[in-house]
Structure 1
Amino acid sequence: MIIVTGANGKLGRTIVKHLLELVPAEGIGVSVQNPEKARDLEQRGVRVRRGDFDDAASLVHAFEGASQVLIVSAPRLGEQALRQHQTAIDTAKAVGAQRILYTSQMAANPASPFAPAPDHAATEETLRALRVAFTSLRNGYYASSAVPLLGDAIETGEVVAPEDGPVAWTAHDDLARAAAITLTKGGLDSITPALTGSEALDLAGVAEIVSEVTGRPIRRVVVSDEEFRSHLLAHGSPEPMVNMYLGYFAASRQGEFATVDPTLARLIGRPPLTLRDVVKATLQMEK
């Protein structure tokens, strides 16, 4: 049985959607914190069980009978994330899973200024040390983050942010399809190449696309990190979120999100969705 954690989240749910196109529902199980939110999957024949990364006993039950476990990385940072990932990985091994998959990130690097990246790198080390077959899916930067990164630029006509660098924006749906294919057909072992879209664009490029799609001119304005920090804090943004943003800009300036790799296209059998595709869909949903 293939087990997917976090199946009530955007990536996990989309992975299950693609799995259902490839294997019978009875061969799929999901581990979710709130089973009530996954009743639609249960009605389709997917096994739904409660699983909490902070409760190893619940994971033992949720992972029962697993041949493969796909661990969608926790929405946490630092020690909490590492502890939760360790628990999930140890449990997958304990129940006898023959392969463990993990959703990592293209910038996984212990020295990265982008806060999630060192956590992903440390989790990959945990997987290496476990001596169980594993695949760490180094996902490209989520394209769905591009429009929110502009803030209120559509209304103001200006996107004000620190200097940045190119980013290989990548659609959730493409990454989910790749994960489902890897679970059912193999093809990726150990730590993967960056699984990315086909182009890397900086924030000015994102603004240009959004401007073309909306018909509203948007100008890119570069400010210092400190100006940006002060502005966000003054408008009520929590400091951890501000630090995350600044880490993103620092990492992008260093080129940590700039790699464009053909692996994703090869795996899914078609060109990845472009940022323009995702922007159009995102803005249409917001109407």
Structure 2
Amino acid sequence: MIIVTGATGQLGRQIVERLLTRVPADRVGVSVRDPQKAQAFADQGVRVRHGSFTDAASLAHAFEDASQVLIVSVDKMGEEAVRQHRAAIDGAVAAGARRILYTSHMGANASSAFQPCRDHAATEEALRASGVPFTSLRNGFYAASAVQFAGHGLESGAITLPADGPVSWTAHADLAYAAAAILADEGLFDGPTPPLTAAQALTFDDIAAIATEATGRTITRTTAPDDQFRKQLVSNGVPAEAADRLLGIFAAGRAGEFAAVDPTLGALLGREPITLGTILSEQLSSDDGR
């Protein structure tokens, strides 16, 4: 049985939906914190069980009879994230899974300027130490984050952010399709995958230009000094530690950590990956329709 964790989240839900187009529902199980939120999957014949990365007994039940376990990374940072990921890996090993998959990041590196990328690197080390074959999905940076960063600027006409570097912004939908394809074919990828990215790496200057074309309005890109941006975040209620970690995205971007472009995702999709321009256009259309 293929077990997917976090199946009620944005990425996990789409992975399960895609997986169900490839394998019978009775071969798919989900491990979720709230089974009621996964009722739609249960109605399709998917095995739904409660599982929490902080409760080993729940994982033993949720991972029972697992042939593969896909661990969707948690929305945490630092030691707490790595601790929970290790617990999930231990649970998969104890369940006898013959392959463990993990949603990592293209920038996974112990020396990254961005904390989550250091966490992904530590989790990959735990996977290597587990003794079980694993596949680490080196996902491109979520395009939804670019839209979120640009957010207010798309309305005001001025995107004001720290200096950045090119980023391979990649759609959740494409990454979900790739994960499902890799789950359905156990022969694909031993260890970390190549970067699973869109076909272009874009800066926020590029994004401002794309948004200008999409809206017909001039949208500019202004660079804010890091310290000024941090003060603004904190004044808006963002905890100082979170603000520092957020700035790490831009520091890592300037260092080129997210600039790689690779054809692997397109090959898995059988088409060109969804562009950020398409995602921005859909977002802007949605906003106009409110």
What do residues 262-285 of structure 1 show as CA deviations (whole Å, max 9, x unaligned)? 111111211111111211223333
**225-234 vs 112-121, greater mean Cα deviation:** 225-234
Distance in 1 (CA, whole Å) between partners of 2:284 and 2:239 is 26
1:144–1:282 Cα contact (<8 Å) kept: no
Q: Secondary structure at the match of 1:163?
A: coil
Please tell me whether residue 221 in structure 1 is matched to residue 219 in structure 2. no
- Aligned equivalent of 1:12: 12
Cα distance, 1:69 vs. partner? 0.2
Give the letter for the 1:183 counterpart: L
The answer for unaligned runs of 5 or more in structure 2 is none
Give the letter for the 2:221 counterpart: R
- Aligned equivalent of 1:177: 177
- Aligned equivalent of 2:262: 261
What do residues 28-70 of structure 1 show as CA deviations (whole Å, max 9, x unaligned)? 0000000000001000110000000000100000000100000
Q: Secondary structure at the match of 1:160?
A: strand
Distance in 2 (CA, whole Å) between partners of 1:43 and 1:285 is 30
- Aligned equivalent of 1:200: 201
Q: Secondary structure at the match of 2:104?
A: strand
Please tell me whether residue 126 in structure 1 is matched to residue 126 in structure 2. yes
Kindly, what percent of the aligned residue pairs are identical?
Answer: 55
What do residues 75-110 of structure 1 show as CA deviations (whole Å, max 9, x unaligned)? 111111111001100110111000000000000011
- Aligned equivalent of 1:98: 98
Distance in 2 (CA, whole Å) between partners of 1:271 and 1:153 is 28
- Aligned equivalent of 2:284: 283
Q: What's the TM-score once normalised by structure 1's chain length?
A: 0.97
Distance in 2 (CA, whole Å) between partners of 1:172 and 1:155 is 23
RMSD: 1.1
Please tell me whether residue 211 in structure 1 is matched to residue 212 in structure 2. yes
Distance in 2 (CA, whole Å) between partners of 1:282 and 1:181 is 27
Q: Secondary structure at the match of 1:152?
A: helix
1:74–1:85 Cα contact (<8 Å) kept: yes
- Aligned equivalent of 2:111: 111
1:144–1:279 Cα contact (<8 Å) kept: no
Distance in 2 (CA, whole Å) between partners of 1:177 and 1:244 is 29
Cα distance, 1:245 vs. partner? 2.1
Q: Secondary structure at the match of 1:166?
A: coil
1:31–1:62 Cα contact (<8 Å) kept: yes
- Aligned equivalent of 1:190: 191
Distance in 2 (CA, whole Å) between partners of 1:172 and 1:219 is 26
Alignment of 1:131-170 (within 5 A): 131-170=131-170
**150-159 vs 234-243, greater mean Cα deviation:** 234-243
Alignment of 1:19-30 (within 5 A): 19-30=19-30
- Aligned equivalent of 1:76: 76
What do residues 118-150 of structure 1 show as CA deviations (whole Å, max 9, x unaligned)? 000000000111111100000000011111111
Distance in 2 (CA, whole Å) between partners of 1:61 and 1:268 is 33
Distance in 1 (CA, whole Å) between partners of 2:270 and 2:203 is 26
Q: Secondary structure at the match of 1:150?
A: helix
Distance in 2 (CA, whole Å) between partners of 1:104 and 1:55 is 22
- Aligned equivalent of 1:271: 272
Q: Secondary structure at the match of 1:121?
A: helix
1:8–1:37 Cα contact (<8 Å) kept: yes
